[in-house]
Amino acid sequence: MPPILRRLAAVVVLVIAATPLTTGAAAAAPADEARTSEQRIRTAGADLDTTLYLPATLPAPAVLVAHGFGGSKATVDTDARELAARGFVALAWSARGFGTSTGQIALNAPDAEVADAVALVDWLAARPEVRLDGPGDPRIGVTGGSYGGALSLMLAGYDQRVDALAPVITWNDLGQALFPNAAAAQAPPADTPAHGAFGADGVFKSGWAGVFFSAGLGPADTGQDPAGADAPGTGAALPSAPAAGTAPGGVVPPTGGQPANCGRFTAEVCAAYTEAATTGRLSAATADLLGRSSPATVTDRITAPALIVQGEADTLFGLDQADANARQIAAAGGPVKVIWYSGGHDGTAPGEPLREEIGEWFDFHLAGRGDDPGTGFGYTVVSGVRGGSNTPTTRSLLAPEYPGLPGRGQLQARSLPLDGAPQLVVRPAGGNPAAITALPGLGGALGAIGGRVTAFTAELPGQSAQFRTAPFEASTLVTGAPRVQVTVARLPGQPAPADAVLFAKVYEVAPGGLRTLLGSAVAPFRVAVPADGSPVTSTVTLPGVVAPIEAGNSLMVSVSTTDQGYAGGVEPAVWRVGTGPDAALTVPEVPGENVTASTVPSGPLIGIGVVLALALLAWVVGRVLGRRRDRAAAPADPADADVPLRIRDLAKTYRGGFSAVKGVSFDVERGMVLGLLGPNGAGKTTVLRMLMGLITPTAGSISAFGERVGPGSPVLARIGAFVEGPGFLPHLSGAENLRLYWAATGRPEAEAHLGEALEIAGLGDSVHRRVGTYSQGMRQRLAIAQAMLGLPELLVLDEPTNGLDPPQIHAMRELLRRYAQGGRTVLVSSHLLAEVEQTCTHVVVMHKGRVVADGTVDEIMAGGGAATFGVDAPDRAAAVLGALDGVLSVEVGTGPGTVHAELNGTPRSSAVRALVTAGVDVTSAGPRRRLEDAFLQLVGEDTTP
């Protein structure tokens, strides 16, 4: 492999290794409290490097935490710590052939990696820290992503002691995942798994397979990351070879020692990859090897509760793989909950809310605490509108159950007629140039801006046949895997191979012709074509997607002859491709209910302002939906109906005992511009996240305008939010960006009050210019205007002056004051104390999770009685003030006609009266300190949380 490709593969594998569960950002404080110990555990064929994480209370249920391919136990350290913080004994280990564990990579074979995991369960059963269900039977769960996710399923199938599992972005049938749409590509009935059986020939997913094989070529037992870019050249010893001979399944391993090109793989796996890479086909022997590593062989034995998490941005293991796992486990009698989230191998790792849902799954099914998470189906809809850091907006839906499971009804589908006559398509000699639909691990990046980049790279002249539906009369949400019948015929007298390898995909097409490749994914299929020119019909299952289709747009099915990610053959050929007898595209739909407040005006989609993104992602899993919706809708107190925000005894304590917020109470009245201040770790962000419904308080209440605040609460429509880092489409004007945003909320255009918001923002004619020409200050003002759309009565702003120069800060200060006029309210979180002093009317100061001061800016600055007086006779004024009871100190100021005094509780009015009585003319009287002085006195120099 050329060095540049090896480095690209290394980067991709590093991403994959980190993808399974962690982002490394959640619950660090409580998670760090876990006690850990390093262990070397010997199994039959490997010496495993493990870390045991112990919670505060023992004995406790245990959870095995498996890592992704190319990773090690260090990859899942954050996940293990989080589970320990929840009260579980967590065990992470480096799988054989990875990290410093010995042994050779066998792709989760039953007699290798699965046997290792069974040995770890045995080891935990003998530990006094682990709760037992019976002798030798620990109370235990297992989780992991990708490679670790398949291990979770395999272990649950082979070891009935597993009590709960949560596999993430993984496979069901490794043969079908690497050789998709096998044989004649016949789609299964709606109530059966969405792919065929082992052993059928398919189209080799050579791009992804090559990345994974390269990840196993580096040295083992060195302690370094096996996916390092320079790993193959370190010169470290390679694993020793197994005895020569014929391996199970008929693959003949090389003799005379392990070949250098096999790295840390077993000789059987190495030979299977070499065969697939050179022939592009799935032989019976390779199918047997991949089958032994496939959960599909054991899902009929899994009855433990299974939370199946799959990514919607995943060209490696598509949604069909999770679908098969769910159907098969449910058929075996196991409780199943399914979550599709907006990430995957080509996107992001599961974030904190999704990891929280996994933790709550184990809470209920292992520890018997918390609410029943149920067996529903959550999925995320990603729109084409992008916010801060080029982040797409999302909304989340929840269906009461996963469709199509045995005894639970069937998937709904629509049949859309396709227009287009049969067309000739050409496969060039050598299969080059080839279309590019995705790059391994970078499919989401390649498909940036909703897959529009791939719309140009995925279609090459003369290589595709295209068929369209009529424009949609109303917006439609495609949820699942569409299907289409395709006819293929050869041209009589033209040379062509015996079978055709073709690639099907679906685009959304706007009236102007702009195409968006759904899922940035392609469905390859192989079909035998008769030599006499008669057509053969196949039903092709297209990639599973969650895609909103706008009214007026149409869908286009494309069938092409090449794709760079697959081994499609090199012989030149010409095929005639058409649609089947019904000439229709079958589109699945899963009616779901929005579980987050998608109508709350917000600014850039990061932090607390991500009411339309993070809040939606946070609730994709619909955690305890009914109870929380009821509580969100319940009125707090009708007497508070005119109070924009009332917080009472608010507290948030994380599992493990860490208290981020402790008994916080304050009110925000109409017309206020209130500044929320505090050092890092004071609890400000936690309060704001609870205010926006992103996390649930441990105790206390939040009400806005007399209604309880919670996810989905109607009162959220009266609250707007903005956070630093505004993100807009640079090629559109400011006004166009605002209209596009408001349209995404689904609220009537008349309610936007666009003109009023723009007038308050003060952008003038600049609002009609492209945002790409805006200065930082103009972008900040536009983001404020976006948060003001709908003129929300309560505006929540985080660092609104961040990155602005002094004139821009002055303009922003005036903007906020204008907005608060007329009875509206602004809550500002900021670390710029001087700006809060000049902008805000009131201040709440937090420190170590508590409110340490609450009042007007003048009251906070006057705390302690420090005052400055403007007088005509400073020396005589100093003598008068010094004679008052209670005054601690007096000094004449360096400025003309000023005297300073520490009044120590003596009213300033009493001091003025004494000065006037003594014949001293008083021209001014006010607090001496700045807000910064008062802040430091309240929180001290030590701001450690």
**How do residues 736-793 score in pLDDT, each as one tens digit?**
888 888 877 777 888 888 887 777 667 788 888 888 888 777 887 888 888 888 888 8
Q: Which of 196-200, 443-447, 587-591 has the lowest mean pLDDT?
A: 196-200
Output 348 or 157, whichever has higher pLDDT: 157
Q: Is the pLDDT of residue 231 over 70?
A: no
CATH 3.40.50.1820 fits domain 13-178+296-380: yes
Share of the chain above pLDDT 70, in %: 73
Per-state percent for the chain, helix, strand, coil, to nearest 5:
30, 25, 45
Side-by-side strand order, sheet with 842-847: 719-722, 794-798, 825-829, 673-677, 842-847, 850-856
Report whether pLDDT(724) > 80: no
Could you tell me the pLDDT band of residue 28, with boundaries at 50, 70 and 90? very low
At the second CATH level, the architecture of 864-928 is 2-Layer Sandwich (3.30)
The burial of 897, by beta-carbon neighbours within 10 Å (0-12 exposed, 13-18 middle, 19 or more buried), is given as: middle
- Reading the block at residue 902, the tokens are 């520490």
Alpha-carbon gap, residue 348 to 700, rounded angstroms: 34
Q: Is there a common fold for 13-178+296-380 and 628-858?
A: yes
Token reading at 235: 């010169």
Terminal C-alpha separation, the chain: 50
pTM of the model: 0.58
**What are the pLDDT digits (tens) for 256-304?**
455 556 788 999 999 999 888 888 888 889 989 999 999 999 999 999 9
d(Cα 500, Cα 878) in Å, to the nearest integer? 100
Give all strands of the β-sheet with 699-704 in edge-to-edge order.
659-668, 645-653, 699-704, 707-708
**Phi-psi group of 223: left, alpha or beta (phi > 0 → left; psi -120 to 50 → alpha; rest → beta):** left
Which pair of tokens denotes residue 328? 């098969």
Per-residue model confidence (pLDDT) at position 612? 31
Q: 399 pLDDT band (50/70/90 cuts)?
A: low
CATH topology of domain 628-858: Rossmann fold (3.40.50)
471-490 pLDDT per residue, tens: 998 878 788 888 899 999 99
The rounded distance, in Å, linking the Cα atoms of 701 and 708 is 7
**Phi, psi dihedral angles at 502 (to 5 degrees):** -130, 165
Which residue in the block uniquely carries the two structure tokens 């899922």? 519
Given this model, what pLDDT does residue 521 score?
84
For the chain, what is the mean pLDDT?
A: 76
Report the pLDDT value the prediction gives residue 314, as an integer from 0 to 100. 87
Give me Rg for the CA atoms of the chain.
32
CA–CA dist 768, 770 (Å, integer): 7
Helix (H, G, I), strand (E, B) or coil at 882: helix
Which long-range contacts does 179-182 make (Cβ < 8 Å, 24+ apart)? Answer: 179/203, 179/204, 179/205, 179/276, 179/282, 180/205, 180/318, 180/523, 180/524, 180/525, 181/523, 181/524, 181/525, 181/526, 181/540, 181/541, 182/282, 182/526
pLDDT the model gives residue 639:
63
Q: What is the largest CA-CA distance in the chain?
A: 119
* Residue spans of alpha helices (H) in 163-219: 174-178, 206-215
Rounded Cα–Cα distance for residues 853 and 89 (Å)? 41
Q: Quote the crossing angle between the two packed helices 874-882 and 908-917, to the nearest 10°.
A: 120
Q: Output the six-digit token pair for 911.
A: 């001091």
- How many Cβ atoms from other residues are within 10 Å of residue 747's Cβ? 16
pLDDT for the residue 768: 85
Q: Assess whether pLDDT exceeds 90 at residue 364.
A: yes
Is residue 940 scored above 70 in pLDDT?
no
Could you tell me which CATH number the domain at 413-589 has?
2.60.120.260
Residue 288's CB: how many other CB atoms inside 10 A?
17
Mean pLDDT of the 673-678 span = 85
Residue 632, pLDDT score: 38
> Which residue from 726, 653, 657 is spatially nearest to 690, judged by alpha carbons?
653
* CA–CA separation, 715 and 230 (whole Å): 56
Tell me: the pLDDT tens digits for 78-104? 999 999 999 999 999 999 999 999 999
- Predicted confidence (pLDDT) per residue in 118-147, tens digit: 999 999 999 999 999 999 999 999 999 999
Judge whether 411 and 592 are in contact, CB under 8 Å. no
Summarised one tens digit per residue, pLDDT across range 884-936 is 887 777 888 766 788 888 776 677 788 888 888 888 888 887 765 555 555 55
- CB contact set of 94 (below 8 Å; sequence gap of 6+): 48, 49, 50, 67, 72, 73, 100, 101
Domain positions in the chain are 13-178+296-380, 413-589, 628-858, 864-928
**Which tokens hold the place of 609?**
């302002």
The count of other CB atoms within 10 Å of the CB of residue 706 is 17
Of 814, 846, 815, nearest to 831 by C-alpha is 846
Three-class secondary structure assignment of 805-874: CHHHHHHHHHHHHHHHCCCCEEEEECCCHHHHHHHCCEEEEEECCEEEEEEEHHHHHCCCCEEEEEECCH
